[in-house]
Structure 1
């Protein structure tokens, strides 16, 4: 295994490990790291991978990973870094002895002037490279990362010296250009809830979308998730109750079978308008036509649809219609002061993998990632169901098992109502 330093974009901080883990599964790459090493105040993570080629595979699809260097030396001061680089065995340098090269000093959480960077680069003059310096088209870029942490954004002045430094050859950059390619400003039609391109791409990644995947968005709106999933080669389909955005029959045509590789969605919160669902009235037979006399589409009768009902139906639907190993990725809105991990809906056939918070101060939304159990896996027991998952760390919740109820379909509920059941009221009270 080789050592690398992953440099992430300092955005959507709680989502970085979820995407990294998913990409490692997609590319079938063995990856080793300590989740607690990735700090919210830093973009750097030390990772072990089998090869440089594997690092490039992860970069090729990642949205939150910016770039990677191979780790040759790590230290807490620049002088100590130089000492460690001097002590490197010659086999580190041998592939690059005659290569065209340049040096790059990258600073996070502070700034260095160009003269200061030049001074630092010149202190590496002891290295045995015989190739020419090439600033425009080098064959290798030797990189120094200096991590001062993100203290200024916390109201703390940058320290005089970095907390840690890394050195090694640059591997590659990621494909964050996709964010601009699918920027909402370039879309021909937008709705009030259209998801931005970066988050849509991240969701497609954590859902393990790949060429040939069948992806469903049951609250499709203007199709942001289907656009990004299609980019990665999926066959996509969406449904929506709002006929102003799509047209179709009211009831889904899915057979009760395992079909979807991924379900990716942003369920209606009931904020901009109360969430609704198609009314089912057993006393009134369904209409044989979906058109009015003037040829226009009939709007089906609807009734209020509370958020906790929406999510329970979504979880139950996913447990039936996902293929084994398929993923459900959706947004759960929460009031910050009221949220508890026990509010996340659970099902005996769905393992909770990630719970990534996007905080808006008084309220937040959480990206929930669940995976359907494999055929040879037994239903989750109560202990396995009550696992708190956040920022890649798993721990057991403190909850009396007598408070847990599991219906015949496997849906888990508690004696108390989840906080998001009153999300609309709490949102407007704030």
Structure 2
């Protein structure tokens, strides 16, 4: 059994000259042997990086030390992506901030739990909160960890559903988690670059190899007036990712009092991209409730930003043209256009009344490419403008779609036929909720 995998401890720093030395020394004091330590500074304007340089130069231990100072400020999202793709090389990544203090056995205990529980995508542990003077106090995160239901992690689908309903505060803070580097690489660069790397990795973990929590305090999480969570209104917004080109045109900005709303929209966008990637890679099956919840969140957040003029637009005409005009892949509804993300491509099984009901109520997170039915008399006809195809044609299309949605009360019979006769993967077959196929509009 593997006992000593290569681990990277990453420390983010930015204008933390008061706390950085204690944080760096706690990283250097780790008792785990096969350890790379990366301290990456996001262009601090104070003495933070000078302190890092001095401590790194004086270090005489056995850990591999790598320090970095970005040429210009990247912001949390891009800084995280740069570290993961250009600097870190460990199999497991242990994260911390430049103001937090890790216990000397933190990495060792994380590795023990990670190996014991089958190398899940993410490992989280307990923390204690300290103030600027280093005094322990019982704050909101301490109380959260005491009362939140950690047992949900045993069922990733339930954990995902619960998380999407109650995303804030994040279940497990970045200062008290570790994650597999290959989990990050499997999903790729977070193109929306949200400033919530802990949210990103927790969500990716639930979509892949799951997460594990153990209630041992291994880090002191510092709360102070300049910490990330303390003063969100003071944080500047960096250049948005290319994915938001249709949302933020050249020269347009986000109003200061809407910065947090924009960041939450970045997060929701990234979660959709990751969900879609996980489905297409076969890491997770389509769950109608999760798709409906996440797509509705995307629409709501975009409408809020646009409707409240959180985004300053040069042209009201362009705003109208790009965002307010409704489109519909089923020609039976109008919807806000999210033209920087793609819905899931699906085939709806059932051209009868249940199928028509589904078309009128289906979440726009699904793009219906065709309707399949076993009744040969319907093949080649159209329902609400969508072509009805045969089961054989569905078989030919199965590799190009994300899911087959069953709009019939005969779900099990249809599922059996799709799997046994057409060879369609069980993960691609989704049962639509009863209300979707029985309620008429």
Q: If the length of structure 1 is used for normalisation, what is the TM-score?
A: 0.26
Higher strand share: 1
Higher helix share: 2
Greater CA radius of gyration, 1 or 2? Answer: 1
Q: If the length of structure 2 is used for normalisation, what is the TM-score?
A: 0.25
